[in-house]
Amino acid sequence: FGLAFCPGRWRLHCGVLSQSYCFITMSTDSVEAEIAADIYCASCGIAGVDDIKLKICDACDLVHYCSDECKQDHSPKHEQLCKERAAELREELLFRQPESSHVGDCPICCLPLSISGKRVALMSCCSKWICDGCDHANGVRQRRENLQATCPFCRHRVPTTHKELEANAMKRIAANDPVAMAQLGFTRENEGDYDSAFGLWTKAAELGDAIAHWSLSIAYAKGEGVEADQAKKIYHLEEAAIAGHPQSRHNLGYYEMRSERYDRGVKHWIIAANLGYDEAMQMLKECY
């Protein structure tokens, strides 16, 4: 017979020696209080219990403080460790494989959208990327039933003039839609208004848009609408790559290779290849 080492009593039943299990229950409040007691201010040592709420260091996630004064007092002792841990967290985030590309899945059929920008359509009314298959199926249904052309996602009437298109874009921008901001930025760039394009991309990037980060990296590289800055170019490439933009990831691979950090370059290309970026796959073949 087999024995399992668990807390409880041993007993003999039908010739088999077995053990009963004991379960100790604790209230949620007790558990939370016990966890909170292990958290204390790194400066004054006060524990985070009862009505004392501690805030974690935003940069490193290692220590807690009870007040801004304690955080400032402890800063000289914590600064070096904080920078090292923040750099480690940044590296972990940078080289983590995204679950999907920056465009994600079609919101209708839930299939991955093409990262090439082909076979997809952007709806100006709701700023949703729709695959060509769903867009085509919607058009077929509307023509067959003699219906008005509407968005396959939100059912808003499809704009028929450039003026209506821009009106939709401005509504989305007023609602702080980063996709609409980034797209209008491209329009302003094509018109030669680099300052307006840069402003739109900056705001969209602050809202987490990967395409806006990618566009800002190009702006900083070329010095269009802003003074050229290599460090900021790399920063925005990294932010776009973290958000699943495969071309940004691919370009980071080139940058690391030129800097002779080959292991980092290969990591970037592997992530880009996993996202379906063919050029990264070709570079990996050459590496091997």
Element (H, E) at 65: strand 64-65
pLDDT (tens digit, 0 to 9) for every residue of the chain, 288 residues total? 333 344 444 444 444 444 444 444 444 444 444 444 468 888 888 887 767 888 889 888 888 998 889 988 998 888 898 999 989 999 999 999 999 999 999 999 999 999 988 899 999 999 999 999 999 999 999 999 999 999 999 999 999 998 999 899 999 999 999 999 999 999 999 999 999 999 999 999 999 999 999 999 999 999 988 999 999 999 999 999 999 999 999 999 999 999 999 999 999 999 999 999 999 999 999 998
Whole-number Å distance between alpha carbons of 102 and 113 = 9
Question: Regarding beta strands 10-13 and 16-19, do their DSSP bridges make them parallel or antiparallel, or are they unpaired?
Answer: antiparallel
108: which 2 tokens?
Answer: 């209708």
Cα 232 to chain centroid distance, Å, stands at 18
CA atoms within 13 A on the CB side of 229: 12
What single-letter amino acid sits at 4?
A
Whole-number Å distance between alpha carbons of 258 and 139 = 48
78: which 2 tokens?
Answer: 């914590």
- The neighbour count for residue 137, using CB atoms within 10 Å, is 14
The CA-to-CA distance between both ends of the chain, in Å, stands at 53
